[in-house]
């Protein structure tokens, strides 16, 4: 569907493209992954975890947008092993998004597709939106791209770009 989860996949790709178009070069690689099979087995997330193997230690964070492309409000941050310093850093990054109201970072459970990484200690961010209409379309034939509000989608892309870039460029 468009909100679940076409918009999230394209927002991640657009966020990476926006960083590149701005001529920014973070210290670390930003990888965009399109997951599959979240709803019945998390096979995409599990296969990525298997494929990456011990290199998972190099992952400083995972970000997913699986709550539709409505007005972003911030992120939930999930991981049992996230230090207080990391939480503070995430909040400082989110502060950069205050002007569009996307500055919240709350404790959460991450997202399903990145849960296999989170279970290995990778801090996991779930982009949160207002979800005002998400369940009007969720898992139905009505979940089509005409339900995506372009301004909200652009804000989601910007929020993902800022969080991704600053995390990837951090000390």
* Residue numbers annotated as active site: 38
**CA-to-CA distance for 8 and 84, rounded, in angstroms?**
28
d(CA 77, CA 110): 6
What's the distance, CA 2 to chain centroid?
16
Residues ≥6 apart with Cβ < 8 Å to 14: 157, 161
Q: CA-to-CA distance for 123 and 95, rounded, in angstroms?
A: 18
């Amino acid at each position: 569907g468009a909100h679940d989860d076409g918009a999230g996949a394209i927002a991640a790709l657009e966020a990476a493209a926006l960083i590149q178009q701005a001529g920014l070069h973070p210290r670390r690689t930003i990888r965009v992954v399109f997951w599959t099979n979240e709803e019945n087995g998390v096979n995409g997330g599990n296969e990525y975890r298997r494929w990456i193997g011990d290199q998972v230690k190099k992952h400083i964070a995972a970000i997913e947008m699986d709550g539709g492309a409505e007005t972003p409000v911030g992120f939930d941050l999930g991981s049992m092993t996230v230090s207080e310093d990391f939480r503070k850093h995430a909040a400082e990054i989110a502060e950069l998004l205050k002007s569009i109201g996307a500055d919240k970072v709350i404790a959460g459970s991450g997202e399903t597709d990145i849960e296999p990484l989170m279970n290995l200690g990778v801090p996991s961010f779930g982009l949160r939106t207002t979800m005002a209409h998400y369940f009007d379309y969720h898992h139905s034939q009505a979940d089509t791209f005409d339900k995506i509000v372009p301004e909200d989608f652009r804000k989601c892309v910007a929020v993902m770009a800022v969080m991704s870039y600053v995390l990837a460029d951090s000390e």
